[in-house]
Amino acid sequence: MSGKRPGKSRTSGKSGKNNGPKTRLDPAAVEAAAAKRERRARAAALREEQQRKQRRKKVLVQVGILVAVAATVIGVTIAVMRANEPDYVAAPNGFDKSGDITVGNPDAPVTVTLIEDFQCPHCAATHAQTKDLLEGYAEGDQVRLDFRPIAFLDEMSSTEYSSRALNAAVCVAEESPDNWFAMHNKLMEGQPAEGGSGLSDDDLVGLATASGADADTVGKCIDDRPHEDWIDYTSHRVTKSDDFGGTPTIMVNGTVVEGTAEAIDSAVKDALAT
């Protein structure tokens, strides 16, 4: 036996290394491969740019859809608001186009404007503090009182007392504007608690007749509620104005002041001094 291991071939050369021919790269082939890699890189970059453009286009389309939807929603909202806005209603006898009724000298140099709701507890509290002061203005010549009544607190009673009370007061003023102030004061002083049914129509008729109104005339007016549309219109117009801050709002010559006798009187004196 030769002692050779099966599968073991004899090698040539002292080192045992393969000294046969070696493969050499062709320069033309190297250049072609590099060009091919460059073409692939450019193609990949082009695909990536196209994909980015497609993504941007998709986003812009989506944004455009959202903008269009938002514009539609806003348009619908405005349309609904306008649809819910009451139509113009002429003011009843005794009230001007701003919804004001004046007590005192209409040519007085200073005007105190009061925006109130007959169901507003803060209005009743302010009235208790300022009643004597306002009555003094009404009897003098230097200050006129412009009352701008609204009814936006119907949800605070189970019988729409806010609107019913204002309708009753307008019924009194329509018959005789001179009786407004007395009816106003009685409604503020007899204001029912929130959450209940409020004063009944019979109670309102009683306050109206005590203020100087004819019982039969004012009774029918209170029952029929003919001023509902005007009350809705003027209340909406006042409450939707940018400068409406709730009730009561008291202004002296158009400038809002605190609802205290001291603050009102101080602002009136300053206005008279100028």
The pLDDT of residue 232 is 97
Per-residue 3-state assignment (H helix, E strand, C coil) for 205-247: HHHHHHCCCCHHHHHHHHHHCCCHHHHHHHHHHHHCCCCCCCC
Tens place of pLDDT for every residue, the chain, 274 residues? 444 444 434 344 433 433 434 334 455 555 655 666 677 777 677 777 777 777 776 666 665 665 565 456 545 544 444 457 789 999 999 999 999 999 999 999 999 999 999 999 999 999 999 999 999 999 999 999 999 999 999 999 999 999 999 999 999 999 999 999 999 999 999 999 999 999 999 999 999 999 999 999 999 999 999 999 999 999 999 999 988 999 999 999 999 999 999 999 999 999 999 9
- pLDDT at residue 85, as a whole number: 79
What pLDDT, on the 0 to 100 scale, is given for residue 18? 39
Length, in residues, of the chain:
274
pLDDT given at position 109: 98
Amino acid at position 66, single letter: L
Segment holding 40, helix H or strand E: helix 27-84
State residue 38's pLDDT score. 72
Torsion angle, alpha carbons of 104, 110, 115, 121, to 10: -80
State pLDDT tens for residues 125-160. Answer: 999 999 999 999 999 999 999 999 999 999 999 999
CA distance 100 to 113: 8
What pLDDT, in 10s, does the model give residues 190-209? 999 999 999 999 999 999 99
Q: How many CA atoms lie within 13 A of 241 on its CB side?
A: 13
Segment holding 186, helix H or strand E: helix 180-189
pLDDT of residue 21: 40
CA distance 91 to 101: 10
Calculate Rg over the CA atoms of the chain. Answer: 43
pLDDT for 137: 98
User: Domain map of the chain by residue range?
Assistant: 29-84, 101-273
β-pair type (110-116, 101-104): unpaired
At 218 the pLDDT is 98
**pTM score, two decimals?**
0.70
The CATH H-level (homologous superfamily) assignment of domain 101-273 is Glutaredoxin (3.40.30.10)
Task: Report strand pairing: 143-149 vs 110-116.
Answer: parallel
